[in-house]
Amino acid sequence: MTLADGVQLVSTLILAAMVIGAALGVVLFDNIVYSAFTLGGVFISIAGLYILMNADFVSAAQVLIYVGAVNVLILFAIMLVNKQEVYSPVPRRWIRKLSAALVSAGLFGLLTVMLLQTEWLPNAAQTAPDSTVILIGEHFFSDYLLPFELASILLLMALVGAVVIARRESIVGEDTAIVGEQPAPVLELPERPREPVA
Amino acid sequence: MDVANLASQLNAGAILPEGAVILTLMVVLIGELALGRASAARWTPYVAIAGLLLSVGLLCLQWDLTPTLSFLGSFNADKLSIVLRSIIALSTLVTILMSIRYVEQAGSSIGEFMTILLSATVGGMFLCGAEELTMIFVSLETLSIASYLLTGYMKRDPRSNEAALKYLLIGAASSAVFLYGLSLLYGLSGGETHLSAIANALAQGTNHLGLLIALVFVIAGISFKIAAVPFHQWTPDVYEGAPTPVVAFLSVGSKAAGFALAIRLLTQAFPAVVEQWQFIFTALAILSMVLGNVVAIAQTSMKRMLAYSSIGQAGFVMIGFVIGTEAGYASMIFYLLIYLFMNLGAFTCIILFALRTGTDQISEYAGLYQKDPLLTLALSLCLLSLGGIPPLAGFFGKIYLFWAGWQAGAYGLVILGLVTSVISIYYYIRVVKMMVVKEPQEMSDVVLNYPAINWTPLGMRPLQVGLFVTLIATSIAGILSNPLFTLVNNAVVEVPHLQTANAAKTPMAILPTTTPELPAPLVSNSDSTAL
Amino acid sequence: MNSGIDLQQKFIDTLSDLGLSAGVAKAIWIPLPMVLMIFGATVGVLVSVWLERKISAAAQQRIGPEYIGPLGILAPVADGIKLVFKEDVVPANADPWLFTLGPVIVVIPVFLSYLIVPFGQNLVITDLGIGIFLWIALSSIAPIGLLMAGYASNNKYSLLGGLRAAAQSISYEIPLALAVLAVVMMSNSLSTVDIVDQQSGYGILGWNVWRQPAGLLLFWIAALAECERMPFDLPEAEEELVAGYQTEYAGMKFALFYLGSYVNLVLSALLVAVLYFGGWDFPIPIELLASWIGVSPNNPVLEVVIAGLGIVMTLLKAYFFLFLAILLRWTVPRVRIDQLLDLGWKFLLPIGLVNLLLTAGLKLAFPVAFGG
């Protein structure tokens, strides 16, 4: 084993341990803020795994998007919604936890068996490209052109939708909402809510 | 590969219909921004309708072209996709007709509603022709995210918020599972993303377990989209909380896109495990038909009832899918086409009723016949058609489905379908009875105070047009079903992988309703565009 | 193009001559540049702290530190020693783990970003293919640390400061990335070495500043905001938030924040030099000078001189921008938080997009001047 191979193996093991540990942290922490921070750890570790697979651009993009944007937004949401609410513990909660653990363990076992049984087709012919950026660009503008362009529609729509949901609503036809007055019953379904069943 | 060479290989003409919708979307978005929100309600819906009509027209023109893969294999514009894309475009069209007044009355901005609805349409249309895993996922997400946004559009209503949140969370989970399935497919095939290449690669290997897991995950994602039991839990809450036009789109357009995905992905990428996926879908069909139709009986809210009825209807459609014959696929698409009109007709009626009275409780419909005969007639016809009463369109749709199932030997499924149809007729008739049979003194309060019928306010005319169009289509599409059926038959016959999927089975006789001398596609398509 | 001095090759050759195998020699080499860079960055911070004090004093017509060493140059060292020996306090009810982890997460990415700062053709730790993109990605990690510090302090000012810092950081990352993207588009590469190479050859006339004036302004404003420098130091605006997320910090943990902010400032100044001012390039092409004097470009002495000159030029350019940043601190008033976000989203973002579009258009129209 050469030095590089050894480094790669050790890094893989460390990163794998980090991913699994952090992911367990996300699920098992009771404090949601801890979960959010460990989620950042998961993202970073996955970026490390990408680097080991020679996908440097994807790795940097993973850090930029998932850690820098997604995780920060999650933290923002958690910290801005500062509602201290004491939940009464659900009776026999351990049954739910146990069943969730059993299902997860079963799925894990199944997938492991599958991974071991499968003859994965190795793609030996492919060597690491000189520049992943150029390769990604070529794919984007040849065989993945259509999904790439459709993604722009998706992002545009998501942007418009996010603004629609987040903006402070002024009633159509008026430039400003009147502050302090009873708002008109807008943006609600015209159907009356059902009377609660007695 | 230089630009000119690439451009010639792309065969970009195949996505002209989607291009028309995208262009409309841009015009609506930028126009609303430039001209202001106040005037937007007066023109954006009509621009959107024009764009969709153009799109459907372009689809008709593409019918006679020889189908070729475009965008280096990302998109397949065969006849099957043309029919399904038309269904989605038409469902958006009718949805827009019924949504103008609804959105206007709720005081929210119509331009953005149109934008998001049109992007959902684009996503659905691309999904119908997607031949490649990335394309499938991106278009599926376009459709899904737009649906979440539309569901939460009435943002001050807690029911709408709840519906959007539930839909988003369950949808995101199902997308993740679906994506995991796709990634397994990618890995098992040794790094292929095109469906045909995946099928080739998987045909050589013996990775049965991996393939089955991929299959199960993929089916979970698809079943969420078509709301098959047991992946249906979101449906009632979302249907109750979402704005009604959105529900109409979800129940028709989104569902048609889901079936398109199912046909293309399962028949093309999983030929090695045909028995398995047909078995799973048989189970889903049985559960959907039974649960959807039985639970619908107990509902008191019209929207919830239609939610369960749509689950049941999806069960009927799945009969055509699981038998895996040409006639099965054809009858399935035919039923979707019929379902488009009758279901959207029903939703138009309940929107009209909700706008006039502010409720959607079934009991409040009592005695509506005396106050609004037109609405009563339209709603009755659409519901009876959904139940499958002759001579309405739904009857013929079901007959074709059950006939195809019987021919293929799926006797149990067909009998179950018949039984549950009878159950469904019970709860549909209940509403009709509520409206028609009640004496004047039994009238509900809201019907007693029913406002004078007035079609002049902004957005009421399109609603009226939509009502008449769907009503006429529901009434006569059954009697004039020959051209429609020729259309869907042609669509299925010319798709090679639907033949290979059932090569092992006995070749089925095509229904004896084909009329070769009729220039079927043109007639029926112009028929549907005129509607 | 003369590739200049290659220290790594020479070092490995020397060790091989001593009888070590090439692999071992390389393994010995690997940590050296990193250690050197961390050391260099820390010294850079000391220099910039001293400059900050002196220039601030000059701006206020004072003398500034005077007695700690000649001209007071040991003042930052004294600061550092004081912070190291201070008691390390974790406030009551604070979250000790997150409280400690916060500053660490803020500092590490900044130091990592020095990986891609070039001081010469081969005087860079790694010439990565994704180069400048790595910096953008790494700089997006810092808000996590800031949020962590703000949350763990159990102090409302800290939390507000952390939230502000994160909001500011993600808002200004986009114009920053757009400005960088325009430069990248011209040099057809994300690698910082390639970006400098593309500017060299014509001396001062070839620098990107002439082709990207709007981009430079955009980059500089966004970089100041990313570093939380005046006029964008809202997260620690003392009139409103005491000291923002740093309020509860003392001793070594505070020192980490302090260090991080100055390292980041120096890094930004270095990157302005690399992206817009020709990096290690001398204002007059060095080959031209050599031919005037009559020295062959392969002369080993010249190689060493060029390498030294490259480092000096990069640092000079960077410290000029550091000087500008310090001057700005005492000449520009602080903006309000809403003004800050408005500026980022409604002004810099559109300008950045237009700049990108214009650059693309110019690149198509004049491929000679804009890197075809």
**DSSP output for B219-281:** HHHHHHHHT-TTS-THHHHHHHHS-HHHHHHIIIIIHHHHHHHHHHHHHHH-GGGHHHHHHHH
Q: Cβ of C133 and A80 within 8 Å? A: no
- φ, ψ of residue B292 in degrees (nearest 5): -55, -50
Q: Cβ of C144 and A64 within 8 Å? A: no
Distances (CA, A) of B470 to B348, B373, B522, B528: 9, 17, 20, 11
Residue C248 pLDDT greater than 60, yes or no: yes
DSSP code of residue A197: P
Q: Cβ of A147 and B135 within 8 Å? A: yes
Residue A125 pLDDT greater than 70, yes or no: no
From chain C residues 14-33, the ones with a CB under 8 A of any chain A CB are 23, 27
Query: Do residues B361 and B443 make contact, with C-beta atoms less than 8 angstroms apart?
Result: no
Q: Cβ of B74 and A120 within 8 Å? A: no
Q: Do chains C and B touch (3 or more CB pairs under 8 A)?
A: no
pLDDT on residue B42: 83
pLDDT on residue A29: 85
Q: Cβ of C144 and A37 within 8 Å? A: yes
Residue in A with minimal Cα distance to B119: A157
Residue in A with minimal Cα distance to C149: A37
C152-172 pLDDT, tens digit per residue, is 888 888 888 888 888 888 888
Residue B510 pLDDT greater than 80, yes or no: no
Using the structure block, give the residue that is written with the tokens 């404003």: C221
CA distance A143 to chain C (A): 22
pLDDT bucket at C203, cuts 50 / 70 / 90: confident
User: Which residue from C128, C140, C148 is facing A64, i.e. has the nearest CB?
Assistant: C140
Overall average pLDDT of the B493-522 stretch: 50
B481-491 pLDDT, tens digit per residue, is 888 888 888 88
Mean pLDDT score of chain A: 81
Residue C141 contacts A, CB cutoff 8 Å: yes
Both tokens assigned to A88 = 């009464």
CA distance A162 to chain B (A): 8
With CA atoms as reference, report the closest residue to B222 among B308, B317, B291, B293: B317
pLDDT on residue A194: 64
**Of residues B90 and B108, more confidently modeled:** B90
Residue C75 pLDDT greater than 80, yes or no: yes
Overall average pLDDT of the A101-111 stretch: 92
DSSP code of residue B70: E
pLDDT on residue C297: 66
**Of residues A89 and B124, more confidently modeled:** B124
From chain A residues 113-142, the ones with a CB under 8 A of any chain B CB are 113-114, 117-123, 141-142
- φ, ψ of residue B301 in degrees (nearest 5): -100, 135
Residue in A with minimal Cα distance to C24: A3
Residue in A with minimal Cα distance to B7: A142
Q: Cβ contacts (< 8 Å) between A43 and chain C: which residues?
A: none
B410-430 pLDDT, tens digit per residue, is 899 999 999 999 999 999 999
B157-183 pLDDT, tens digit per residue, is 888 889 999 999 999 999 999 999 999
Residue A136 pLDDT greater than 80, yes or no: yes
Residue C205 pLDDT greater than 70, yes or no: yes
Q: Cβ of B132 and A113 within 8 Å? A: no
Q: Cβ of A143 and B209 within 8 Å? A: no
pLDDT on residue A198: 46
Q: Between chain A and chain C, how many beta carbons pairs sit less than 8 Å apart?
A: 69
Residue in C with minimal Cα distance to A72: C144
Overall average pLDDT of the B342-352 stretch: 92
Q: Cβ contacts (< 8 Å) between C166 and chain A: which residues?
A: 72, 75-76
Kind of pairing between the strands at B69-70 and B75-76: antiparallel
Residue B501 pLDDT greater than 60, yes or no: no
**Euclidean distance between CA atoms C241 and B40, whole angstroms:** 44
User: Which residue from A145, A147, A194 is facing B301, i.e. has the nearest CB?
Assistant: A194
CA distance C74 to chain A (A): 37
Residue in A with minimal Cα distance to C150: A79
pLDDT on residue B291: 92
Q: Cβ contacts (< 8 Å) between B241 and chain A: which residues?
A: 189
Mean pLDDT score of chain C: 84
Residues of chain A with pLDDT > 90: what percent? 33
User: Which residue from B15, B205, B359 is facing A119, i.e. has the nearest CB?
Assistant: B205
Residue B29 contacts A, CB cutoff 8 Å: yes
DSSP, collapsed to helix, strand or coil, labels residue B231 as coil
Neighbours of chain C (3+ CB pairs under 8 A): A
Residue C146 contacts A, CB cutoff 8 Å: no
Distance from first CA to last CA of chain B, Å, rounded?
45
CA distance A38 to chain B (A): 20
Give the count of beta carbons closer than 10 Å to the beta carbon of residue B21.
29
User: Which residue from A72, A80, A132 is facing C170, i.e. has the nearest CB?
Assistant: A72
Residue A122 pLDDT greater than 80, yes or no: no
Residue of A142, A171, A178, A189 for testing the chain B interface, max B β-carbons within 10 Å? A189
Query: Do residues C313 and C270 make contact, with C-beta atoms less than 8 angstroms apart?
Result: no
Both tokens assigned to C146 = 């800031």
**Euclidean distance between CA atoms B491 and B502, whole angstroms:** 16
B217-275 pLDDT, tens digit per residue, is 999 999 999 988 888 889 988 998 889 999 999 999 999 999 999 998 998 888 888 88
User: Which residue from B74, B159, B188 is facing A147, i.e. has the nearest CB?
Assistant: B74
The alpha-helical segments, DSSP class H, found in B205-241 are 208-226, 234-241
Residue C327 pLDDT greater than 50, yes or no: yes
User: Which residue from A113, A188, A194 is facing B106, i.e. has the nearest CB?
Assistant: A188
Residue A196 pLDDT greater than 80, yes or no: no
The ipTM value here is 0.87
pLDDT on residue B525: 41
**Euclidean distance between CA atoms B507 and B277, whole angstroms:** 20
pLDDT on residue B504: 44
Mean pLDDT score of chain B: 86
Residue B94 pLDDT greater than 90, yes or no: yes
Q: Cβ contacts (< 8 Å) between A157 and chain B: which residues?
A: 115-116, 119-120, 142, 145-146, 149
pLDDT on residue A169: 67
CA distance A67 to chain C (A): 6
Strands (E), B444-516: none
Residue of B149, B182, B444, B446 for testing the chain A interface, max A β-carbons within 10 Å? B149
Residue C166 contacts A, CB cutoff 8 Å: yes
Query: Do residues A45 and A15 make contact, with C-beta atoms less than 8 angstroms apart?
Result: yes
Both tokens assigned to C60 = 């206020």
Overall average pLDDT of the C201-227 stretch: 87
Residue B456 pLDDT greater than 60, yes or no: yes
Q: Cβ of C159 and A79 within 8 Å? A: yes
Query: Which of A58-62, A123-127, B348-352 comes out lowest in average pLDDT?
Result: A123-127
pLDDT on residue B521: 40
**Of residues C242 and C100, more confidently modeled:** C100
Provide CB contacts within 8 A for C222, sequence distance 6+: C172, C173, C175, C176, C179, C344, C348
Query: Which of A62-66, B324-328, B501-505, C311-315 comes out lowest in average pLDDT?
Result: B501-505
CA distance A110 to chain B (A): 9
pLDDT on residue B507: 40
Q: Cβ contacts (< 8 Å) between C136 and chain A: which residues?
A: 60, 64
Using the structure block, give the residue that is written with the tokens 């006679």: B64
Residues of chain C with pLDDT > 90: what percent? 10
pLDDT on residue B134: 92
**Euclidean distance between CA atoms C23 and A5, whole angstroms:** 13
Q: Cβ contacts (< 8 Å) between B354 and chain A: which residues?
A: 190-191
pLDDT on residue B76: 86
Q: Cβ of A37 and C148 within 8 Å? A: yes
- φ, ψ of residue A31 in degrees (nearest 5): -80, 120
pLDDT on residue B382: 92
Residue A85 pLDDT greater than 80, yes or no: no
pLDDT on residue C284: 79
Q: Cβ of A3 and C27 within 8 Å? A: yes
Q: Cβ of A76 and C166 within 8 Å? A: yes
B440-452 pLDDT, tens digit per residue, is 788 888 888 888 8
H or E element in which residue B69 lies: strand B69-70
Both tokens assigned to C351 = 């300008």
**Euclidean distance between CA atoms B480 and C276, whole angstroms:** 72
Fold adopted by A8-83:
Four Helix Bundle (Hemerythrin (Met), subunit A) (1.20.120)
CA distance B422 to chain A (A): 28
Overall average pLDDT of the B180-203 stretch: 87
pLDDT on residue A22: 93
DSSP, collapsed to helix, strand or coil, labels residue B32 as helix
A168-188 pLDDT, tens digit per residue, is 765 544 444 444 444 445 667
